C-alpha cells in the first residue's frame, strides 16, 4: 500500500482490515484498508476523503499521526503511526489493574487535550473506549478516530437495521443510543465512562454480561455507579456523564479542571518497566533473511512490481526492529480479546479486539468456570473491629457478576486514621461461598498509608446476611444500599452541635449521593489563645452507610492556620429524638451530639 509493506494482518472491523505496515525507511504503521463494499459507495468515498484531510489537521497531539493515505485507490487506505504501548483495556483487564489516582488525573487531562485537538479539527471520535487508547511513556494516545463518521454516512440505513447501533455499549452516550445528532459532547460522555473503567476496572452502567441493550438502556436512563472513583475525579467524571449534552464540559474545560502536569513519570514504575522491556526487545531484535506475508495480507501482483536488486546491507538493515514489533502486536491483538459484532438480521461476526468498529462491539470475557451466584451480587457492609454501636473498623464490599479470574469485588475499608479503596480477583465460587484473592489498593486517604486487604471468604447465612472471614477476623455482613441515593435520609441535611455554646462555631452538611463520594462538609471556627479565631473546612468521603455512616479521614479544603485537628476516620449514628451522634474511630471519647439546623 503506497510505500508501506504489509507485514501481517492485525484484525478487522466495520471499516475493513488493519495491517501492520513498514515504510521504506523502516517506520512502523497501522494501515487501515477499506472493504470493497464501502469503496464502491461514492458517498462513503467522499466522506472518507474529507475525514482523512481532517485527520491531517489534528497533527498527532495525543493521537496517532497520519503518515500517508490514498483515498482514490481501488482499495482506499490510510496509514497512521504505530504507537508502541499497550491499550488501556489490556493494562486494566489483564495486567496491572485499575490505575492509581495520580495516573488517573494525568490520563484525564491528557485525553481531554487530545479530544480538544480532534474536535478542533471538526471531528467527533464516536467510539472512544479503552481499546482505542494506548499508554506510552509520553502519555496516552487516542487511535481510530475520524472513520466512524464516514462509515455512518455511507451506511445511513444501518440506523434502522436490526440490532445495529454505531458505537460500543458501555461507552456510548445517550444521544448515540437514541440515534440522535452526535456532537463532541458524545465523546465527553465516553471519556467519563473510560475514566470510571480506568479507576475501578468496571463499567459505570453494569457489566457486559448483562448484554448490549441493557448497557445502552442504563446509559440513557440510569445513573452511573462511581464507587471506587477517587474523590478528586468525582466531580469532573459526574459532569462528563450528564445525560444532557449541554451540561457536559468541553474538552478544553475538562483539561483545565484535571490539569496534572508532573515533573516525573506519569505512569506507575511497574508499567514503565514493562514499556522499557518492550522497547529493548524492539531495538535489539535481528532481522531474519526473509519474512513471508501473513495470510490475508494484501499482495501486489508480481507482474506490476519492477524487479529490484537487493540494497547493500547497512547498520539499519542489519538490525531492523519490525520483526519483534510484529510479534508484540500479534500478542497484543490476542490479549485484547474478541469483539462481538452485531450485523443486519442479528448475524454475529468475530473480529479482533482493539480494531475500530462502527457497529455494536462487546468485549467477550475469557473467564471460564462457575459464575457468582445471584445471592452474592450487590453491596454488603459489616463492622469487623469493635461493635455496631461503637465500631473501630467498617468494611464495605460490592460484588459484581463474574467468574474465577475476574476482578469482581470492590471494597472500601474505613479503619481509624485511614480509608482504603481496592479491588479483589475472584478465586473460586459456588452456591454458598465466594473466595476473593488478596486485594489491590486503588486509592487511599491519606495517600500512601494503605495495605492490600488479605484473602476474603464470604459464606451465605441467609438472604440478607453473609459471614465474612479474612486474616483471622470474622464478621457478619448485611445488605446495603447502592447507587446515587445510598445515604439514608435520616443523615441528609445541615446539622449543628446540640450544645448551644458551640452552635455558631460548627456546621455539618451531609448531602445525598453514592458511597465513595465526598458528601460530608464540616466547617469549624475555633477561638485561639491570642484572642483571634481560626477556621477549618474539611470534607469526608463516605465509606459505608449501615449500621453507621462511616467516613474517611478529613481532607482540609480551607484553613486559616495550623491548629486544625489531625485527620482521622469518624462515623455517625442516629441518636434519640432524631439527633446525630459523631464518634471518632481513633478515640474512645464520648460522642458529639448534633441537631438539625433550623
Residues with active-site annotation: 127
For the beta carbon of residue 36, count every other beta carbon within 10 angstroms. 10
The CA-based angle 245-47-191, given to 5 degrees, is 30
Strand pairing class (426-429; 391-399):
unpaired
Please state, in angstroms and rounded to a whole number, the distance separating the CA atoms of residues 48 and 34.
10
Please state, in angstroms and rounded to a whole number, the distance separating the CA atoms of residues 268 and 132.
20
Report the SS3 class of residue 379: strand
Please state, in angstroms and rounded to a whole number, the distance separating the CA atoms of residues 5 and 321.
14
What backbone phi and psi angles, to 5 degrees, belong to 592? -85, 140
Q: List, in order, residues 6 or more apart from 172 with CB less than 8 Å away.
A: 165, 186, 189, 190, 216, 219
Report the SS3 class of residue 273: helix
Report the SS3 class of residue 352: strand
Q: E strand or H helix at 334, and its extent?
A: helix 322-336
Please state, in angstroms and rounded to a whole number, the distance separating the CA atoms of residues 260 and 59.
22
Residue 135: C-alpha distances to residues 30, 273, 274 (Å): 16, 13, 11
One DSSP character per residue, 58-75 reads: HTTTTB--EEEEESSSSS
- Let me know if 374 is exposed, middle or buried by CB neighbors in 10 A (0-12, 13-18, 19+): exposed
β-bridge mates for residue 386, sequence order: 391
Q: E strand or H helix at 187, and its extent?
A: helix 184-200
Q: How many CA atoms does the CB half-sphere of 215 hold within 13 Å? A: 24
Using the structure block, give the residue that is written with the C-alpha cell 489483564: 94
Q: Comparing C-alpha atoms, which of 16, 56, 61, 22 is closest to residue 36? A: 16
Amino acid at each position: 500500500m503506497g510505500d508501506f509493506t504489509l507485514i501481517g494482518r492485525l484484525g478487522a472491523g466495520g471499516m475493513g482490515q488493519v495491517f501492520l505496515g513498514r515504510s521504506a525507511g523502516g517506520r512502523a504503521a497501522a494501515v487501515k484498508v477499506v472493504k470493497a463494499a464501502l469503496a464502491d459507495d461514492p458517498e462513503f468515498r467522499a466522506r472518507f476523503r474529507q475525514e482523512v484531510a481532517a485527520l491531517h489537521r489534528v497533527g498527532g497531539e495525543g493521537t496517532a499521526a497520519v503518515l500517508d493515505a490514498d483515498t482514490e485507490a481501488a482499495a482506499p487506505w490510510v496509514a497512521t503511526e504505530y504507537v508502541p504501548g499497550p491499550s488501556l483495556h489490556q493494562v486494566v483487564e489483564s495486567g496491572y489493574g485499575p490505575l492509581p489516582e495520580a495516573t488517573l488525573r494525568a490520563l484525564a487531562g491528557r485525553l481531554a487535550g487530545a479530544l480538544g485537538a480532534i474536535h478542533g479539527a471538526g471531528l467527533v471520535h464516536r467510539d472512544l473506549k479503552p481499546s482505542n487508547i494506548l499508554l506510552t511513556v509520553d502519555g496516552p494516545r487516542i487511535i481510530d478516530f475520524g472513520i466512524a463518521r464516514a462509515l455512518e454516512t455511507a451506511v445511513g440505513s444501518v440506523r434502522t437495521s436490526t440490532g445495529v447501533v454505531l458505537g460500543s455499549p458501555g461507552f456510548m452516550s445517550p444521544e448515540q443510543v437514541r440515534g440522535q445528532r452526535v456532537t463532541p459532547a458524545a465523546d465527553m460522555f465516553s471519556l467519563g465512562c473510560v475514566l470510571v473503567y480506568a479507576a475501578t476496572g468496571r463499567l459505570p452502567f453494569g457489566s457486559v454480561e448483562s448484554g448490549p441493550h441493557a448497557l445502552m438502556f442504563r446509559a440513557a436512563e440510569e445513573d452511573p455507579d462511581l464507587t471506587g472513583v477517587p474523590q478528586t475525579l468525582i466531580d469532573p467524571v459526574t459532569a462528563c456523564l450528564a445525560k444532557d449534552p449541554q451540561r457536559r464540559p468541553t474538552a478544553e474545560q475538562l483539561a483545565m479542571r484535571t490539569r496534572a502536569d508532573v515533573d516525573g513519570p506519569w505512569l506507575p514504575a511497574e508499567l514503565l518497566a514493562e514499556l522499557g522491556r518492550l522497547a529493548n526487545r524492539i531495538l535489539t531484535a535481528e532481522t531474519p533473511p526473509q519474512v513471508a506475508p501473513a495470510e490475508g495480507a494484501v499482495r501486489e501482483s508480481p507482474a506490476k512490481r519492477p524487479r529490484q536488486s537487493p540494497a547493500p546491507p547497512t547498520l539499519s538493515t542489519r538490525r531492523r526492529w519490525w520483526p519483534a514489533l510484529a510479534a508484540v502486536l500479534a500478542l497484543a491483538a490476542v490479549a485484547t480479546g474478541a469483539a462481538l459484532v452485531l450485523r443486519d438480521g442479528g448475524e454475529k461476526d468475530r473480529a479482533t479486539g482493539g480494531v475500530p468498529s462502527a457497529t455494536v462491539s462487546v468485549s467477550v470475557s475469557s473467564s471460564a468456570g462457575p459464575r457468582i451466584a445471584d445471592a452474592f451480587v450487590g453491596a454488603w457492609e459489616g463492622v469487623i473491629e469493635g461493635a455496631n454501636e461503637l465500631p473501630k473498623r467498617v468494611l464495605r464490599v460490592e460484588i459484581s457478576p463474574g467468574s474465577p479470574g475476574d476482578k469482581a469485588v470492590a471494597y472500601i475499608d474505613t479503619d481509624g486514621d485511614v480509608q482504603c479503596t481496592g479491588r479483589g480477583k475472584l478465586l473460586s465460587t459456588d452456591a454458598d461461598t465466594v473466595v476473593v484473592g488478596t486485594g489491590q489498593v486503588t486509592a487511599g486517604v491519606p495517600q500512601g498509608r494503605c495495605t492490600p486487604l488479605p484473602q476474603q471468604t464470604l459464606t451465605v447465612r441467609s438472604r440478607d446476611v453473609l459471614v465474612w472471614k479474612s486474616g483471622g477476623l470474622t464478621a457478619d455482613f448485611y445488605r446495603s444500599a447502592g447507587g446515587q441515593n445510598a445515604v439514608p435520609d435520616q443523615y441528609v441535611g445541615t446539622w449543628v452541635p446540640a450544645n448551644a455554646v458551640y452552635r455558631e462555631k460548627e456546621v455539618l452538611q451531609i448531602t445525598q449521593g453514592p458511597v465513595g463520594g465526598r458528601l460530608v462538609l464540616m466547617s469549624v471556627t475555633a477561638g485561639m489563645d491570642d484572642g483571634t479565631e481560626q477556621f477549618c473546612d474539611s470534607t469526608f468521603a463516605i465509606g459505608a452507610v449501615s449500621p453507621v455512616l462511616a467516613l474517611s479521614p478529613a481532607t482540609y479544603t480551607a484553613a486559616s492556620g495550623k491548629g486544625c485537628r489531625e485527620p482521622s476516620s469518624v462515623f455517625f449514628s442516629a441518636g434519640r429524638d432524631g439527633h446525630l451522634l459523631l464518634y471518632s474511630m481513633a478515640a474512645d471519647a464520648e460522642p458529639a451530639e448534633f441537631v438539625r439546623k433550623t
